[in-house]
A = this chain, B = another copy of it.
């Protein structure tokens, strides 16, 4: 017997002017001055950060409570207009764009830390809390929230895109750090996806289904997070290698040895040059690893010693260590400013940021092939990466007035995605699918897995209300 199953509803174009007018009237009545249809605000709530086109919503609502979100979802359902969740807008893949119009649901004012349960090493926050805000709030507790994607992203956005960053090699990604979520579903109901227990075998794992769903299944309004204890000792440093392969090999050996390294970032020669220019540093212009170790004093000393041996075995050296907090901050600031530093390599150009992730055994191959591809394409494309996870970023700097350059960069990004997939990896380690990576979903997952994902979307959001045009081409 066959049982029919409804497909994901396809949206075409944007709501009509009549629908927008009627919806906006209802939004104004419900949300007062927390609703706006001003062009400037709408544009600021579309994608602004990379080369992707800005596609503004029809309206913006600044939510302050869970009930605001519920009412907004119900109003949008009634008018059949999309809901596009918005945190602080640091997505690189167009997640906040509104290709089918509708309302940008700005969660930045939902920024309360609702609970810190020090004994359980967890906390509960609203989606607009940013990672830096959370760590400031935790300052006196001896705990910290370790996920660090570089940008001061909102926790809601980080959960929605399964974000990670420099610390993930030791502390995991949002997948590992989100304990449970509170979500507003398509019918306006409030769903809690799990308890505060550290583990459970009770039913389907809704938490992990919402983590990384990019706002397409519901609106995250509460996040329970695992925290970590601030380590007694931290040591950060840099070391340099004759080529990218040796730096990758040293990373692979470190991971395989079981050394609990907290951060290990690859910075390629071009990026080192950019760091030097932007942050007035005088680093040797060679492939560099930027590393950090956490633990007790004695364990950090032991880790540093072991890592030093591995680096030497792989032809690297020239260590510069930073144990004082201010020196560490300076070092990491350079890394976090990498995005801006890289832009100095070609003033006026925009970064065509992309990321990929492969099993660590293929990391050196993937980076080397990518460097060769960059050279052959004639692109200026610096590489940095969270290489302990096999994850790296490439940012071709593109003159956006030159359509040939855009095509070249798009073709390069596509080859990189397929290369990573062919090596047993993924087209995105941490940026998400958004709009432009939809094209790689079938190559990566295969048609049967993609069919199951579409079934989930259709089952949770039959009207295709939530963030249409992301993850799937509908």
Contacts and interface: CB of A to CB of B under 8 A. Distances in A.
Contact of A428 (B192, B201, B445): B201
Contacts of A296: 302
A451 interface: yes
A44 interface: no
A104 interface: no
Interface string A422-436: 001111111111000
A132 interface: no
A228 interface: yes
Contacts of A9: 3
Contacts of A209: 204-205, 208-209, 456
B359 A117 contact: yes
Given A120-B361, A258-B228, A199 B168 contact: yes
Contacts of A458: 459
Nearest to A301: B298
Contact of A5 (B173, B191, B212, B459): B459
A121 B231 CA distance: 26
Contacts of A328: none
Central interface residue in A359, A391, A421, A450, by most chain B CB within 10 Å:
A359
A185 B448 contact: yes
A200 B357 contact: yes
A368 to B, nearest CB: 16
Nearest to A388: B198
A119 B256 contact: yes
A199 B429 contact: yes
Contacts of A213: 204
Contacts of A462: 3-5
Given A6-B3, A427-B202, A117 B361 contact: yes
Interface string A391-418: 1000000000000000000000000000
Interface stretch (A158-166, A313-321, A335-343): A158-166
B429 A359 contact: no
Given A198-B360, A201-B430, A449 B299 contact: no
A299 B122 CA distance: 26
B201 A252 contact: no
A443 to B, nearest CB: 10
A325 interface: no
Central interface residue in A161, A204, A213, by most chain B CB within 10 Å:
A204
Nearest to A306: B296
A203 B429 contact: no
B424 A195 contact: yes
Contacts of A198: 357, 359-360, 389-391
A460 interface: yes
A269 interface: no
A270 interface: no
A189 B361 CA distance: 30
Contact of A185 (B193, B228, B360, B452): B452
Contacts of A139: none
Given A190-B448, A302-B296, A432 B204 contact: no
B206 A212 contact: no
A191 B229 contact: no
Given A3-B463, A424-B195, A201 B446 contact: no
A54 B134 CA distance: 52
Contact of A197 (B5, B119, B424, B459): B424
A94 to B, nearest CB: 13
A432 B201 CA distance: 5
Nearest to A441: B203
Contact of A257 (B229, B359, B361, B471): B229
Contacts of A120: 359-361
Given A3-B6, A359-B120, A201 B212 contact: yes
A338 to B, nearest CB: 19
Given A162-B201, A196-B425, A202-B426, 10 more contacts: A4-B462, A6-B6, A118-B256, A185-B452, A198-B389, A199-B430, A201-B431, A203-B212, A206-B452, A206-B453
